[in-house]
Structure 1
Amino acid sequence: MEHSPVYQTHRGHDHPHNHDHGHSHGPSDNHNHHGHSHGIGGHHAPNNKKGLTIALLITASIMILEFAGGLWTNSLALLSDSGHMLSDAGALVLSLMALWFAVRPPAPNKTYGYYRFEILAALFNGATLFVIAGFIIWEAYHRLWNPPTVSSGSMIAIACIGLLANLASAWALLRQGDVKDNINVRSAYLHVLGDALGSVGAIVAGVLMLAFSWYVADPIISVVVALLILKSAWGVIRQAIHILMEGTPATVDCAQVKKALLQIEGVREVHDFHVWTITSGLDSLSCHIVIDEPSDSQTVLQQAIHIVEQQFRIMHTTIQVETPALQHGDMKV
């Protein structure tokens, strides 16, 4: 079965490809596969790596400072924040590893390459936030009944340094990285914001203890920060699971996509329709389009590709064009 050449856009360059895909739906099978656009809006660009590297160096330095300071001042808020920073340092390392893995070429047994490693990294980062928050709440519970004396003045000074460092890390990620659309970088960014919240909490607790000798403020503030961390972590975990479950991207309305395809002249039906996310910024679509017998399949296919790309920004499509006479078994999904 021969196919007319279609053009594959690969990182901004057009390359003609002749596709011959063996989906066995009978001898009259007319399967057309549109080329994939693997340029993913720069979400693997060096700026992400630079932002993550800067944030990692700052986080690791302040983690050591806050851990030593927490031991010196006997502050749970500082110790919990340093523990959170340890988790963050690991998360940033994992995020950098994910960017490195993602640009590796596909292998015969991994035809999508390693893009999904970013999603796994984001899921792991979100899970570690839950563990850290749980530890903070557990330790705070014990300290509520017998709050220890804390060197609040030194605690405030160290927490202020930590806050400035966290804000610098967050700025580096915002400035250099794709915090909005890349779930991996965003999960690292949320870790850094969680650190900043921890530092703010430590400062507030330090001021209360310095002014009123209210040492119970240390565990109370720690719990408040932990709950805020949990809220952010749950958002990352939920999105990562949604992607791993092949959920429809939040930016795509499947009903609108089908409606647009059905408006193409000669298209009778759209079925076996799926839209999912491979990794941040790379959505995919596959479907079968049933056309009237006189319609030209290549013309319909080209129009469908154009609509999906231009109206819905989905660059990775697999569209099978078929006539009503084609018979194949019902799909399970």
Structure 2
Amino acid sequence: MAHDHATHTTNRRKLVLVILIVAVVLIAEVIGGILTGSLALLADAGHMFSDLTGLTIALVALSIAARPATERHTYGYRRVEVLGALANGLILAAVAVSIAVTGVSRLLDPGDVEVLGAPMLVVAVIGLIANAVSMVILRSSAKTSINMRGAYLEVLGDLLGSVGVIVAAVIILLTGFVQVDAIASLVIAAGILPRAWLLLRDVWRVLNESSPPETDVELIRTHIRGAEGVIDVHDVHVWSITTGEHVFTAHVVVEPAVFSEGRAGEMLDTLSECLAEHFDVEHSTFQLEPAKHAGHEHPRHS
């Protein structure tokens, strides 16, 4: 519990720091986009605005998720992290569509567009450096939390967007081809959509209580059947409360001697240690039952 509290505190500090960095760069890109006439810069600013919103949602979700379990919320509030990631994914998708529509509109009807390449380049480089720093701050936490992963992916998208703006600015400075600005905005939009899809896919897996993708359910069954005194296992369920927090339940058919010799507690310890050691499942629940009871189980149980 102390470790979880320390992790939440660290993640919260990281998010606050990144939010401050993103807010400063967002203001710089909006001002720079208006002064230079760069759609790509404004597109990246719009992307950063969505990220700022998403990061704020992630921070709020992280704070709520740190609350202890209650009688009504027996697993606590960790699932709120997943809902925060859902909001981030939807925002990313909406921003990508908006940027794409604006970019196509400018390509079809460019009008008398003037884009100032030099200041556009300066602002984009500032954004690139800020996003690189933010990624370094969030990288370690993104491996253990779907909420922090969403924040990390958003910053990664900002970094790629800054690269696109830099390339567009250099081309404008060298060739005067201002339409590359609109093209760059479309590339930024195309880069956002896959990240939104991957995040929403992970959210769906958790909310649908699917087995974690890295978990081999049949291999778990094999491990349980291999324990001394186990005859069979059925009614197996494994899902995630949030990223990295897996839950497992199963009915385990055991030999009569397990009950008659008072080894039920030992059996439960053995099975729980197996799940924790081999499959990173810390919360497991087993129902031990004699063979004759298994025949009474509902036929839909697996």
Same fold? TM cut 0.5:
yes
Give the corresponding residue for 1:301: 268
Give the corresponding residue for 1:292: 255
Unaligned runs of 5+ residues in structure 2 are none
RMSD between superposed Cα atoms in Å: 1.7
How many residue pairs were aligned?
Answer: 294
Per-residue deviation, 1:181: 2.4
Unaligned runs of 5+ residues in structure 1 are 1-10, 13-38
Residue 205 of structure 1 aligns to a residue whose secondary structure is helix
Per-residue deviation, 1:189: 0.8
Give the corresponding residue for 1:54: 17
In structure 2, distance between residues paired with 1:166 and 1:311: 37
Residue 94 of structure 2 aligns to a residue whose secondary structure is helix
Asked whether the 8 Å contact 2:8–2:66 carries over to 1, the reply is no
Residue by residue over 1:113-164, the C-alpha shift from the partner in whole angstroms, topping out at 9 and shown as x without a partner, is: 1100001111111111111110110000011123321111111111111111
In structure 2, distance between residues paired with 1:144 and 1:55: 34
Give the corresponding residue for 1:178: 141
Residue 179 of structure 1 aligns to a residue whose secondary structure is helix
Per-residue deviation, 1:251: 2.4
Residue 320 of structure 1 aligns to a residue whose secondary structure is strand
Give the corresponding residue for 2:131: 166
Which residues of 2 match residues 103-182 of structure 1 at below 5 A?
A: 103-147=66-110, 148-174=113-139, 177-182=140-145
Asked whether the 8 Å contact 1:43–1:280 carries over to 2, the reply is no
What TM-score does the superposition give when structure 2 sets the normalisation length? 0.93
Give the corresponding residue for 1:275: 238
Letter in 1 for 2:162: S
Indicate how the Cα distance of structure 1 residues 139 and 165 shifts in structure 2: closer, same or farther if over 3 A, else same: same
Give the corresponding residue for 1:207: 170
Letter in 1 for 2:298: D
Indicate how the Cα distance of structure 1 residues 144 and 43 shifts in structure 2: closer, same or farther if over 3 A, else same: farther
User: Of 181, 184, 202, which residue of structure 2 is paired with 1:239?
Assistant: 202
Asked whether the 8 Å contact 1:123–1:237 carries over to 2, the reply is yes
Per-residue deviation, 1:107: 2.3
Asked whether the 8 Å contact 1:209–1:217 carries over to 2, the reply is yes
Per-residue deviation, 1:329: 4.4
- Larger relative helix fraction: 2
Asked whether the 8 Å contact 2:69–2:76 carries over to 1, the reply is yes
In structure 2, distance between residues paired with 1:223 and 1:290: 58
Per-residue deviation, 1:186: 1.0
In the TM superposition, structure 1's runs of 4+ consecutive aligned residues that sit over 3 Å from their partners are 42-45
- Asked if residue 195 in structure 1 is aligned to residue 163 in structure 2, the reply is no
- Asked if residue 310 in structure 1 is aligned to residue 273 in structure 2, the reply is no
Asked whether the 8 Å contact 1:43–1:178 carries over to 2, the reply is no
**Aligned-pair identity (%):** 38
Letter in 2 for 1:125: N
Per-residue deviation, 1:331: 6.4
Per-residue deviation, 1:217: 0.3
What TM-score does the superposition give when structure 1 sets the normalisation length? 0.84
In structure 2, distance between residues paired with 1:219 and 1:99: 37
Residue 325 of structure 1 aligns to a residue whose secondary structure is helix
Q: Which has the higher contact order (CA 8 A, sep 6+)?
A: 1
In structure 2, distance between residues paired with 1:189 and 1:242: 19
In structure 2, distance between residues paired with 1:232 and 1:132: 12
